[in-house]
Structure 1
Amino acid sequence: MTQFTFTRRVVLGMVAAAGLSAPAAAEVDFSGKTIEWVIPFSETGGSAKWANFFGPLLSEELPGNPTVVVKFMPGAGSTKGANWFQREEHKDGTLLFGTSGSTQFPYLLGDPRVRYEYKDWIPVMASGTGGVAYLNAEDGANFDGTANALKDTNFIFGSQGATRLDIVPLLAWKMLGMNVEPVFGIKGRGDGRLMFERGEANIDYQTSSGYLGGSTALVEAGTAVPMMTWGALDEDGNIVRDPTFPDIATFKEVCEATDGCETSGEAWDAWKAFFVAGFPSQKIAFLPAGTPQDVVDTYVAAFEAIRSLPEFKQIASQQVGDYPMFVGTGASKAAREATTVSEGAKAYVINWLADDYGVTLK
């Protein structure tokens, strides 16, 4: 289990102008303690960048300014780490766990490897994200805003697994009529990007933090061409352009421009349902069941203080994207939305996974 350690000095340069607030709660003191923030993916992906961004800020805002250590526990598309967290019993507030859509989706689909129950955990912070799909330079030259010229190309994609967050891109590409063969088993989206960089894959997608942290350099170097984002939701639940990438068309736009792709019907409803479950409230920080309320309140206050930093929005947009951050009751609501999907959408995806990949969830 690899790790990355944050101390107070790490963040000072980044938020020097922000005017950091006072400690969150006087009743709880983490002086001299170490907070372990466990991420069930490899250190190369978007969840790692998310925790690495919030870690030093959390250290500053928790009373006593504890050291925050981000630990990585990849395996089985994140179910290994989630199953481990389900068994843990920490009551002193020194254990935090971070999930993403790739942890939520196996839970939603009834994956038999799931031994965890989201309702047992205590959400204290959640944040949305987006995603960007991109092509290599050769195939990107044939992309004209539609997938029409890409339908005869054989694509290879590094995937964490059929029941993970990769459902969103894989179903999108299928709806566009593209031939994308996933290579299942990578431990994080960052490993998919490395496959792309080595030429072992010719199509990839990253969540916003991973794209900002690694894939934009490929685009700037001319070795990657952005294809589309998954978009974002407006107040009425409509898909609109991702605020972090306003110049890149959404999947909805590309679908509408591509022959045979429909933005209505069973496939679209299923895709949108899993997009909503996987991205607007994608990354969630949990304390384990049994954590005392005063400790929970202290974490909520600390994350609220982070959200209130004058420079937070600017800093966050550069590191993890321009998306809402939910705290306390907002995080609880976001967690419920991220772990709920209609039976119709679930049935469609289960049938699709069985038909296309031979994956049965029994």
Structure 2
Amino acid sequence: MTIHTTRRTFASTYFFLSASLAATALCLPAASMAQNVNFAGKTVELVIPFGVGGGSDVWARFNAPFLSKYLPGNPNVVVKNVPGGGSITGSNQFASNAKPDGLTVLGTSASTQFPYLLGDPRVRYDYKDWQVVMAAPTGGVAYISSKLGVKSVKDLGKLKGQKLVFGSQGATSLDLVPLLGFRLLGLEVQHVFGMKSRGEGRLAFERGEANLDHQTSSAYIKSSLPLVKEGKAVPLFSWGVTDDNGNIIRDPAFPDLPHIAEAIQMATGKTPSGGEWEAFKAFLIAGFPAQKLLVLPKGTSKEVVEAYREAVRKMIQDPAYQAGKEEALGGYEQVTDKAGDALFREATSITPHARDWVRYHLGKNYNVAF
């Protein structure tokens, strides 16, 4: 399997070029709007509704100094961790208390999007109120124990009737994506909940307590690919990425692996479609292609939004940013402007029918109460 260490998560004509083209197209009016904003001598709080040390915290602390460098007036940008409720607590506080002056910005993740999409009653925030200034994607790979005799996703039919075990962080966590995806593949999987992290799930796989696992791209390359090279694991598919029309395509980080839609067709002989597929796809996009979003609160002026977007355009072209993004962000391009808007809409939208189906499925099969 070929691993490309320099990668883009989306069709290059859309996502790689969109930031630079948008910067050029909007140069004059954007510059005019941004000049009306000045944060000199002020402090910007970048609220992260998770604890210190997690993926969202690492993402925020990598971006913070670059935002400080490129926001007008070079304000001090500090990360404020507000953990609790799987990110609901901090996001609720942001929705209730953040002033639309550009001095408070929120970083959300799949764990923030999922409760919103599911209609969790604890959620008191509405993504429709917020303005997105940056979207951050990631990818991921699912793999299986080589002891099961599977050589590729085409062999999954051999596993009919066999018990597969997956160590999960919870039915409504990011692991909702594999929970729904494995079902579409026709796999009979026991999801063992309670893993504190995907790293803990991988360790369960290594100990033989689980025989099916998935990891986000950076973790897969760092910690799971060695298992593949040792002959202990077989990669099945990537979760894929989306093009400018919202279609699932292969992740350029893993061009030799089928994406999830291809995997379903290979395993079942049918092109994925229908209500269950659409429900899955909503969470897939919110979990991977648009996993993290940087948003400003309700009522934020166009001038402040543009100042942030201009800062993002500049920082993602900064040589130091480019040099550090591989380690900090897994190499995936951060996007803004139209590309960011498109991902924001896709990651925070779901049809009532799709939501109802997922809620029913989780309640009936996993005793999840809403």
* Residue in structure 1 matched with residue 293 of structure 2 by the alignment: 284
Deviations 1:220-262 (A, max 9, x none): 6766543321112234443221112212222223222224775
**Counterparts in 2 of 1:71 and 1:131: CA distance versus 1, 3 Å:** farther
Aligned pair partner of 1:128 in 137, 142, 158: 137
Letter in 1 for 2:123: V
Following superposition, the deviation at residue 279 of structure 1 comes to 3.0
**Equivalent residue of 2:368, what SS?**
coil
Aligned pair partner of 1:304 in 299, 303, 313: 313
* Residue in structure 2 matched with residue 142 of structure 1 by the alignment: 150
* Residue in structure 1 matched with residue 217 of structure 2 by the alignment: 208
* Residue in structure 2 matched with residue 89 of structure 1 by the alignment: 98
Letter in 2 for 1:98: G
Letter in 2 for 1:281: A
Which moves more between the two structures, 98-107 or 329-338? 329-338
**Counterparts in 2 of 1:134 and 1:39: CA distance versus 1, 3 Å:** farther
CA contact (8 A) 2:279 2:350 kept: no
Taking the TM superposition and a 5 Å limit, the aligned residue runs for 1:22-101 are: 28-31=37-40, 33-43=42-52, 45-101=54-110
Taking the TM superposition and a 5 Å limit, the aligned residue runs for 1:323-338 are: 323=332, 325-328=334-337, 330-338=339-347
Following superposition, the deviation at residue 170 of structure 1 comes to 0.6
Deviations 1:54-96 (A, max 9, x none): 2333233224444444344443332222222222224553332
Which moves more between the two structures, 279-288 or 67-76? 67-76
* Residue in structure 2 matched with residue 270 of structure 1 by the alignment: 279
Correspondence 1:158 to 2:181: no
**Equivalent residue of 2:106, what SS?**
strand
Q: Aligned partners of 1:171, 1:87: CA distance in 2, in Å?
A: 33
Deviations 1:166-207 (A, max 9, x none): 222111112223333334455654554565567665433233
Letter in 2 for 1:155: V
Which moves more between the two structures, 187-196 or 352-361? 187-196
Letter in 1 for 2:368: V
Indicate the percent of aligned positions where both proteins have the same amino acid.
48
CA contact (8 A) 1:73 1:80 kept: yes
Q: Aligned partners of 1:64, 1:360: CA distance in 2, in Å?
A: 47
**Equivalent residue of 1:85, what SS?**
helix
Following superposition, the deviation at residue 132 of structure 1 comes to 1.9
CA contact (8 A) 1:134 1:227 kept: yes
Q: Aligned partners of 1:359, 1:34: CA distance in 2, in Å?
A: 41
* Residue in structure 2 matched with residue 255 of structure 1 by the alignment: 264
Higher relative contact order (CA 8 A, sep 6+): 2
CA contact (8 A) 1:136 1:223 kept: yes
Give the unaligned 5+ runs of structure 2.
Answer: 1-30
CA contact (8 A) 1:127 1:283 kept: yes
**Counterparts in 2 of 1:198 and 1:307: CA distance versus 1, 3 Å:** same
* Residue in structure 2 matched with residue 11 of structure 1 by the alignment: none
TM-score (norm. length: structure 1)? 0.76
Letter in 1 for 2:215: Q
**Counterparts in 2 of 1:228 and 1:260: CA distance versus 1, 3 Å:** same
**Equivalent residue of 2:237, what SS?**
strand
**Equivalent residue of 2:335, what SS?**
strand
Q: Aligned partners of 2:197, 2:330: CA distance in 1, in Å?
A: 19
**Equivalent residue of 1:172, what SS?**
helix
Q: Aligned partners of 1:34, 1:112: CA distance in 2, in Å?
A: 33
Letter in 2 for 1:145: V
**Equivalent residue of 1:258, what SS?**
helix
* Residue in structure 2 matched with residue 350 of structure 1 by the alignment: 359
* Root-mean-square deviation over aligned CA pairs: 3.4
Decide which structure has greater helix share. Answer: 2
Deviations 1:102-150 (A, max 9, x none): 21122122112212111222221113332222345645x5343232344
Q: Aligned partners of 1:295, 1:237: CA distance in 2, in Å?
A: 29
Following superposition, the deviation at residue 321 of structure 1 comes to 4.5
